[in-house]
């Protein structure tokens, strides 16, 4: 018998369902009350809520604002602390005590509108310093900034700071006073003690040593008092830096951004999707093989 004959004989077959089965199936069909099925089942709810919850969680994590740490308080006048439209702050100058030896130094940063004003401001600063009996210690001037180190009599430092601060807009100011009277007093006590020892000294060597030491201390005290007569004023002039030119985007910028994000999305989809697809395909293949193996046994 050829394969064609086998096929022809197989085609003659007709398998009819037995009457009792037909009756069972009819009863099943009658039970079809066609009641509307619930659209919201617990499975559908879970299938919907889980991705939504995940998306919300991801959105919360990704859009959470960064934690801002409080800025430490600054004791100086800073540019950031003052808006450009705010009135220029007045310079403050700590009063110095004439009775005590003090090392007085101040740093004043001023902003001037432009280069011509910068030159004028430097000239004015030198004139003010001269008029108060001070002098220029060092200077560094460039096209956009100037740094001056001025020596001003300590008794007139408040006047100097007030007048110099009028040359521009104050951007920062620092004042430091270091008391040196205690060092002078200590030296004086040492000198007195050495002088007492000098009266009782017997040998020439002792006398010479004590005398040299006393003179050394007296010179140190004199130098300190002389240096403290002048306050050091560091004056920094700056001109405003030109604002960065705003770079306008072209008409295709939006498309570029869109492609960039599409690329990023595709990369993530590939990274996560390919292994997932491979896993699913492998599972399906394995399932088919198991079914084939099972069916070959029956």
Partner 1 sequence: MTNFAQAAEDHLDDVYGYLAWFTGDREVAEDLAAETFERALRLWHRFDPDRGSARTWLCQLARTVALDHFRSEKRRLRREQLVAPLDRIDAQFADSFTPELEAALRRLTAGEREVVALRVLLDLDASTAARVLGISPTNCTTRLNRALHKLEEALHVAA
Choose which of 28, 62, 83, 252 interacts with partner 1 (CB under 8 A).
28
Report the C-alpha gap between 62 and 35 in whole angstroms.
Answer: 45
By CB under 8 A, tell whether 202 contacts partner 1: no
Nearer to partner 1, 23 or 131 (CB): 23
Report the C-alpha gap between 263 and 98 in whole angstroms.
Answer: 73
Choose which of 3, 71, 200, 203 interacts with partner 1 (CB under 8 A).
3
By CB under 8 A, tell whether 18 contacts partner 1: yes
By CB under 8 A, tell whether 297 contacts partner 1: yes
Stretch that binds partner 1, among 19-27, 166-174, 195-203, 234-242 (CB under 8 A): 19-27
By CB under 8 A, tell whether 35 contacts partner 1: no
By CB under 8 A, tell whether 34 contacts partner 1: yes
Stretch that binds partner 1, among 53-61, 136-144, 204-212, 289-297 (CB under 8 A): 289-297
Regarding beta strands 169-179 and 145-153, do their DSSP bridges make them parallel or antiparallel, or are they unpaired? Answer: unpaired
Report the C-alpha gap between 231 and 246 in whole angstroms.
Answer: 45
Report the C-alpha gap between 213 and 219 in whole angstroms.
Answer: 10
By CB under 8 A, tell whether 80 contacts partner 1: no
By CB under 8 A, tell whether 84 contacts partner 1: no
Dihedral (CA of 277, 278, 281, 287) sign: negative
By CB under 8 A, tell whether 248 contacts partner 1: no
Compute the residue count for the chain.
298
State the minimum distance, in angstroms, from the CB of residue 25 to partner 1.
5
Stretch that binds partner 1, among 27-35, 95-103, 188-196, 200-208 (CB under 8 A): 27-35
By CB under 8 A, tell whether 21 contacts partner 1: yes
Question: Which single residue is written with the structure tokens 């409080």?
Answer: 70
State the number of binding residues for partner 1 (CB under 8 A).
Answer: 36
Nearer to partner 1, 23 or 115 (CB): 23
Instruction: Evaluate whether 115 touches 186 at the Cβ level (below 8 Å).
Output: no
Nearer to partner 1, 20 or 241 (CB): 20
Nearer to partner 1, 8 or 212 (CB): 8
State the minimum distance, in angstroms, from the CB of residue 31 to partner 1.
7
| Residues 6 or more apart whose Cβ sits within 8 Å of residue 206 | 197
By CB under 8 A, tell whether 37 contacts partner 1: yes
Stretch that binds partner 1, among 25-33, 67-75, 186-194, 244-252 (CB under 8 A): 25-33
By CB under 8 A, tell whether 25 contacts partner 1: yes
Please state, in angstroms and as integers, the Cα–Cα distance from residue 281 to each residue in 266, 274, 287, 292, following that order. Answer: 21, 10, 10, 16
Give residue 263's Cα distance to chain centre: 30
Site residues (vs partner 1, CB under 8 A): 1-3, 6-7, 9-18, 20-22, 24-26, 28-32, 34, 37, 288, 291-292, 294-298
């Amino acid at each position: 018998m050829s394969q064609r004959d086998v096929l022809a004989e197989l085609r003659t077959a007709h398998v009819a369902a037995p009457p009792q089965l037909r009756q069972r199936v009819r009863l099943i069909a009658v039970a079809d009350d066609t009641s509307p099925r619930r659209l919201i089942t617990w499975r559908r709810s879970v299938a919907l809520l889980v991705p939504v919850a995940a998306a919300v969680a991801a959105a919360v994590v990704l859009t959470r604002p960064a934690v801002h740490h409080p800025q430490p308080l600054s004791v100086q006048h800073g540019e950031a602390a003052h808006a450009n439209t705010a009135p220029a702050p007045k310079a403050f100058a700590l009063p110095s005590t004439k009775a005590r030896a003090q090392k007085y130094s101040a740093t004043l940063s001023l902003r001037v509108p432009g280069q011509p004003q910068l030159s004028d401001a430097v000239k004015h600063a030198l004139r003010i310093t001269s008029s108060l009996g001070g002098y220029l210690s060092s200077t560094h001037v460039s096209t956009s900034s100037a740094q001056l180190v001025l020596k001003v009599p300590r008794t007139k430092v408040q006047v100097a700071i007030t007048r110099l601060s009028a040359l521009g807009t104050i951007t920062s100011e620092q004042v430091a006073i270091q008391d040196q009277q205690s060092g002078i007093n200590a030296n004086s006590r040492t000198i007195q003690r050495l002088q007492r020892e000098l009266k009782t000294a017997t040998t020439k060597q002792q006398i010479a040593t004590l005398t040299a030491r006393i003179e050394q201390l007296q010179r140190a005290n004199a130098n300190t008092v002389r240096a403290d007569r002048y306050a050091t004023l560091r004056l920094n002039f700056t001109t405003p830096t030109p604002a960065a030119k705003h770079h306008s985007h072209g008409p295709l910028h939006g498309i570029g951004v869109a492609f960039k994000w599409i690329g990023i999305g595709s990369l993530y989809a590939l990274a996560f999707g390919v292994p997932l697809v491979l896993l699913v395909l492998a599972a399906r293949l394995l399932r088919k093989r198991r079914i084939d193996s099972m069916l070959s046994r029956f």
